[in-house]
């Protein structure tokens, strides 16, 4: 593989982008060229300054850090700007609050180093603050799709043949679902190395983010129904819910309560977990 461009859309990610880039700077280098592109959109904080401070650490690895500053808000626009800046054929799309483990980047690069279209992500490890979010995360992490699938939440990579399956990023709520469903289950590859993905903090944030997630899935189904042929997300079902409830009743109560609360109103647009 000739190389991989790591594209990080970011809006007001001060306090998060630094640790994200620091984890990248400490990652095991893949056997290919690497560049990092921060696509900052409508930032009103120190996101860009914090990212720029990590430029020497990335340069020491021989990796270019490009910083795009866009006044317009919106993640799809930030992704498109990042793709427009990218010089290398494979892409890794990374949320600014995600932290890679040291071995993940090299493992993902190896997984997508093939001529046929390929998609890859790491082993998702949820991090949560507060009793409510920790309880929610325990059940969510045990849902079969999250535990055994390749959800790609916050981090996914595609090779050049895979990225050719769509053009510009459309204005959709769930960009990760849109990308994942361009690949059959057999074309999705799971790395053993983990990455850390934060769960929304507190009840209100959990409900808001769950609404966004559910709305994003409905939007993809309505606008891109052909992609559903690649969906391998089986419903949990009553038997599965009972098994999870028996294993951890308090966690399941929070998880079910959030799911019930999301039905009162549908989300619009894209929002962060925080």
Torsion angle defined by CA atoms of residues 173, 258, 192 and 198, in that order, rounded to the nearest 10 degrees:
70
pLDDT digits (tens, 9 = 90+) for 107-148: 999 999 999 999 999 999 999 999 999 999 999 999 999 999
pLDDT digits (tens, 9 = 90+) for 145-180: 999 999 999 999 999 999 999 999 999 999 999 999
Q: Which residues touch 272 (CB under 8 Å, ≥6 apart)? A: 11
- The pTM of this model reads 0.94
The answer to whether residues 40 and 85 touch, using CB atoms and an 8 Å cutoff, is no
pLDDT digits (tens, 9 = 90+) for 243-255: 999 999 999 999 9
Just give the CATH number of 3-264.
Answer: 3.90.550.10
pLDDT digits (tens, 9 = 90+) for 54-98: 999 999 999 999 999 999 999 999 999 999 999 999 999 999 999
For 62, the token pair is 């021989």
What pLDDT score was predicted for residue 267? 43
What pLDDT score was predicted for residue 264? 67
What pLDDT score was predicted for residue 236? 85
User: 43, 53, 39, 36: which is closest to 12 by C-alpha?
Assistant: 43
């Amino acid at each position: 593989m000739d190389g991989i461009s790591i594209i990080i859309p970011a809006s007001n990610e001060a306090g998060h982008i630094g640790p994200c880039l620091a984890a990248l700077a400490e990652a095991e280098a893949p056997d290919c060229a690497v560049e990092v592109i921060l696509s900052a959109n409508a930032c009103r904080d120190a996101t860009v300054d914090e990212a720029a401070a990590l430029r020497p650490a990335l340069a020491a690895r021989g990796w270019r850090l490009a910083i795009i500053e866009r006044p317009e808000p919106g993640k799809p626009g930030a992704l498109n700007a990042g793709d427009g800046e990218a010089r290398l054929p494979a892409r890794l799309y990374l949320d600014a609050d995600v932290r890679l483990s040291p071995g993940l980047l090299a493992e993902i690069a190896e997984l997508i180093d093939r001529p046929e279209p390929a998609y890859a992500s790491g082993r998702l490890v949820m991090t949560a603050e507060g009793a409510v979010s920790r309880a929610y995360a325990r059940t969510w992490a045990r849902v079969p799709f999250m535990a055994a699938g390749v959800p790609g939440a916050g981090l996914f990579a595609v090779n050049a043949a895979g990225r050719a399956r769509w053009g510009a990023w459309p204005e959709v709520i769930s960009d990760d679902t849109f990308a994942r469903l361009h690949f059959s289950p057999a074309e999705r590859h799971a790395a053993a190395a983990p990455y850390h993905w934060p769960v929304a903090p507190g009840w209100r944030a959990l409900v808001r983010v769950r609404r966004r997630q559910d709305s994003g899935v409905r939007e993809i189904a309505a606008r891109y129904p052909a992609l559903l042929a690649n969906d391998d997300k089986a419903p949990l079902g009553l038997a599965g819910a009972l098994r999870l409830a028996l294993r951890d009743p308090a966690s399941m109560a929070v998880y079910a309560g959030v799911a019930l609360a999301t039905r009162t109103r549908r989300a619009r647009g894209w929002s962060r977990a925080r």
